[in-house]
Amino acid sequence: MRIAILGFGSVGQGIARAILAKNLNITVTGLADSRSGVIDAGGIDLAAALARKGNGDPCGTPGVSPADVVAKADYDVLVEVTPTNVETAEPALGHIRGALRRHKHVVTSNKGPIALAYPELRSLAEANGVVLKYEATVCGAIPLIHAIKEGLAGNAISRLYGVFNGTCNYILTRMAAEGLTYEQALAEARELGYAEADPTYDVEGIDAAIKLVILANTILNMQTTLDDVERTGITLLTPDALRLAEDQDCTIRLIGEIVPKAGVLRVSPRIVGKAHPLVVEGTLNAVTVETDLAGDLTFIGKGAGSMETASAVIGDLLYIHDRYVQGS
Amino acid sequence: MRIAILGFGSVGQGIARAILAKNLNITVTGLADSRSGVIDAGGIDLAAALARKGNGDPCGTPGVSPADVVAKADYDVLVEVTPTNVETAEPALGHIRGALRRHKHVVTSNKGPIALAYPELRSLAEANGVVLKYEATVCGAIPLIHAIKEGLAGNAISRLYGVFNGTCNYILTRMAAEGLTYEQALAEARELGYAEADPTYDVEGIDAAIKLVILANTILNMQTTLDDVERTGITLLTPDALRLAEDQDCTIRLIGEIVPKAGVLRVSPRIVGKAHPLVVEGTLNAVTVETDLAGDLTFIGKGAGSMETASAVIGDLLYIHDRYVQGS
């Protein structure tokens, strides 16, 4: 199977490392980062490209753009792993459209295009006889979308809720365990690389809200936008609030919740009993799905990280390989 | 899609109820319990069959055997949901072989044939151009096999461990919470229908061991039998042992564990930190999978129950429908 990779940051490099380490029968024929690109129908030398990035150099030739790779490389699947833009989803959205129009399958970890334009992209994929997969957009390493769409096929989902943001979960875990203030815990998260210099996207619940929109629109037959999500972040939480919860054998977690029948999408700090499966520590993610046949199911795992996200992308690639491009 | 159902106890009836309640595009053309059977290419009246069972009557005609249904009914998929026999796997094993030889797909919830004869059955299915699915044999409602084989495709699994038996988990939960003795907690589990009159199969870890053998042989490329599982049950545990664990913010769970590289399969009571995602309450099951790319993932859900098991069977049926018999 031949793939082209757009984006050669931590996720793209993780995918390249996994392809090198494992016998996955995948050849990379196109590759682009924000500054350069390579097109080689014979197969790009990934070790050399990783070495160039390691030296701070572009992964390929400065004259070759991501759009060139999308339009000209010879691939079965476009792997789109550039950073998320939640305002316009560009430039990823245009690249995904371009690949689908060329009858190429697409696997993406990019939340923007899936949150903003899934119905259009899905129709475009169907019209061109290809598939669009996006497991990596929600909860990183947890094969949540796969488990719900396929493993729980036949079930109706009455409610889906969980911990969708590892940064917030780390901050709340540390506030509860050590009595830290929000600011102290945030500073610690920054030092460890769990929080960005501007943490707004995480701590205000925007990241969790985008994941809810993706789940609602892609597996719960809803039509929602980010504006439909009631959203409260964790910035105003005090050590006292956490202590009060602890006194009742509870704790506080930033919970994202969807109730499809009621049309509710909500992100807010909630008091949860400590024995609840959702109460995970550190940067973990955890999601509970309430179903009619299977009862309640909880999935726990790492929500971020380059190899974890690469794992979800590779799961999607092998899914496409087994069903659509076997033998090529 | 046309299916034949062998076994019309709680799981078979759960499947019938789900087919009636949902628009699944499934017609049942063959049905047999231990005393009777029906073959009807036009589609069996499931509501009437359920009503007969509800009245204590056989589901069909006394002269029609399960073997008749396997050999003569007109179906795409055989659904084999009779009780498990861990000694010989019969009569289920013979019925599954018969269906595969007729080029029929098979979905089963029966641990016996999968634990004892998976390599043979898989070869037979491949030789006949059909598939054999068995999600319901391990952890009921949790789509564990699906999530590992498909969602985590590309990952290497270094260790898999968890709570595979709801009866033991209920007993241990109650001993820890109330200071009950093993005998008291077992009596309570029996009253609530969580334990059989003869609880040996559950409390001695045999049920958990069979599930390990299934996982080892079907998704971890091992070749094991029940004799390869080191096994200790929970019958000798005392309230004191649980109290000691509690004093260290731990508890005791019956843990089944596979370490593929070391060739280890083991079921034994283990001390686990209370914050560990595996420490679930009551009759829940929970499994942690350690992988190279995705890190550790934990799956929690109901391990038994008629609708929960039916959910897994229906997930497998829809998988086969979408990939192999769409349109028929």
Instruction: Give B 184-213 residues with CB within 8 A of chain A.
Output: none
Same domain, A153 and A299: yes
> What is the domain count for chain B?
2
Task: Supply the CATH number for residue B211's domain.
Answer: 3.30.360.10
Question: Is A5 strand, coil or helix?
Answer: strand
In this complex, do A298 and B299 lie within 8 Å of one another by their Cβ atoms? yes
Same domain, B27 and B128: yes
Nearest Cβ partner for B154 among A22, A152, A294: A22
A153 phi/psi in degrees, rounded to 5: -55, 140
Report percent pLDDT > 70 for chain A.
Answer: 99
Q: What's the gap in Å between the CA of B243 and the closest CA on chain A? A: 18
* Residue A11 annotated as binding site: yes
Q: Is B147 on the interface with A (CB under 8 A)?
A: yes
Same domain, B39 and B177: no
Question: Is B146 strand, coil or helix?
Answer: helix
Q: Is A109 on the interface with B (CB under 8 A)?
A: no
Same domain, B136 and B197: no
In this complex, do A294 and B311 lie within 8 Å of one another by their Cβ atoms? yes
Q: What's the gap in Å between the CA of B252 and the closest CA on chain A? A: 15
Same domain, A90 and A164: no
Q: What's residue A325's pLDDT? A: 86
Could you tell me the CA-to-CA distances from A225 to A211, A222, B100 in Å, in that order? 11, 10, 48
Q: Could you tell me how far CA B92 lies from the centroid of its own chain? A: 14
Q: What's residue A328's pLDDT? A: 47
- The answer to whether A23 and A50 are in contact (CB under 8 A) is no
* pLDDT (average), residues B186-198: 93
Q: Which chain B residues are within 8 Å of A153, Cβ to Cβ? A: 314-315, 318-319, 322
How many C-alpha atoms does A222 have within 13 Å on its Cβ side? 24
How far is A300 from B300, CA to CA, in rounded Å? 8
- Position B284 in a domain: yes
Q: Which chain B residues are within 8 Å of A318, Cβ to Cβ? A: 153-154
Same domain, A15 and A164: no
In this complex, do B314 and A151 lie within 8 Å of one another by their Cβ atoms? no
Q: Is B151 on the interface with A (CB under 8 A)?
A: yes
Minimal CA–CA distance to B144: which of B314, B254, B297?
B297
How far is B186 from B175, CA to CA, in rounded Å? 9
Same domain, A295 and A154: yes
Same domain, A150 and A285: yes
Q: What's the gap in Å between the CA of A9 and the closest CA on chain B? A: 17
Mutation to test the B interface, candidates A293, A311, A317, most B Cβ within 10 Å: A293
Token digits of residue B2: 């046309």
In this complex, do A315 and B142 lie within 8 Å of one another by their Cβ atoms? no
| Catalytic hit among A104, A133, A211, A302 | A211
Let me know the angle formed at the C-alpha of B325 by B323 and B328, rounded to the nearest 5 degrees. 145
Q: Which chain B residues are within 8 Å of A281, Cβ to Cβ? A: 275
Q: Which chain B residues are within 8 Å of A143, Cβ to Cβ? A: 147, 150-152, 297
Q: What's residue B304's pLDDT? A: 86
Minimal CA–CA distance to A8: which of A310, A314, A311, A317?
A310
Same domain, A109 and A161: no
- The answer to whether A54 and A70 are in contact (CB under 8 A) is no
Same domain, A115 and A173: no
For B197-229, what is each residue's pLDDT tens digit?
Answer: 899 999 999 999 999 999 999 999 999 999 999
For A98-147, what is each residue's pLDDT tens digit?
Answer: 999 999 999 999 999 999 999 999 999 999 999 999 999 999 999 999 99
- Position B212 in a domain: yes
Q: What's residue A64's pLDDT? A: 96
- Catalytic residue list of B: 211
* Residue B9 annotated as binding site: yes
Q: Which chain B residues are within 8 Å of A251, Cβ to Cβ? A: none
Q: Is A297 on the interface with B (CB under 8 A)?
A: yes
Same domain, A125 and A177: no
In this complex, do A294 and B141 lie within 8 Å of one another by their Cβ atoms? yes
* Residue A104 annotated as binding site: no
Q: Which chain B residues are within 8 Å of A302, Cβ to Cβ? A: 294-296
Nearest CA in chain B to A145: B151
Same domain, B127 and B255: no
- What average pLDDT does the structure give for chain B? 95
Instruction: Give B 24-53 residues with CB within 8 A of chain A.
Output: 24
Q: What's the gap in Å between the CA of B302 and the closest CA on chain A? A: 7
Q: Which long-range contacts (CB under 8 A, 24 or more apart) does A198-205 make?
A: A199/A167, A202/A165, A202/A167, A202/A168, A203/A167, A203/A168, A203/A171, A203/A233, A203/A234, A203/A235, A204/A231, A204/A233, A204/A235, A205/A165, A205/A168, A205/A231, A205/A232, A205/A233, A205/A234, A205/A254, A205/A256, A205/A267, A205/A268
Nearest Cβ partner for A314 among B281, B293, B298: B293
Q: What's the gap in Å between the CA of B239 and the closest CA on chain A? A: 20
* pLDDT (average), residues B44-59: 96
Beta strands in chain B (DSSP E): 2-6, 27-32, 37-39, 77-80, 105-108, 132-133, 157-163, 230-231, 250-259, 264-273, 284-291, 296-302
How far is A251 from B153, CA to CA, in rounded Å? 35
* Residue B7 annotated as binding site: yes
- Position B69 in a domain: yes
B111 phi/psi in degrees, rounded to 5: -70, -30
* Residue A327 annotated as binding site: no
- What average pLDDT does the structure give for chain A? 95
Q: What's residue A327's pLDDT? A: 55
Q: What's the gap in Å between the CA of B307 and the closest CA on chain A? A: 5
Q: Is A22 on the interface with B (CB under 8 A)?
A: yes
In this complex, do B297 and A298 lie within 8 Å of one another by their Cβ atoms? no
Report percent pLDDT > 90 for chain A.
Answer: 93
- Position B328 in a domain: no
Say if residue B327's pLDDT is above 90.
no
Burial class, B62, CB count within 10 angstroms (exposed 0-12 / middle 13-18 / buried 19+): exposed
For A257-276, what is each residue's pLDDT tens digit?
Answer: 999 999 999 999 999 998 88
* pLDDT (average), residues B40-67: 96
Task: Supply the CATH number for residue A12's domain.
Answer: 3.40.50.720
Residues of chain A with pLDDT under 70: 327-328
Instruction: Give B 260-289 residues with CB within 8 A of chain A.
Output: 275, 277, 280-281, 284, 286
Structural domain harbouring A171: 145-303
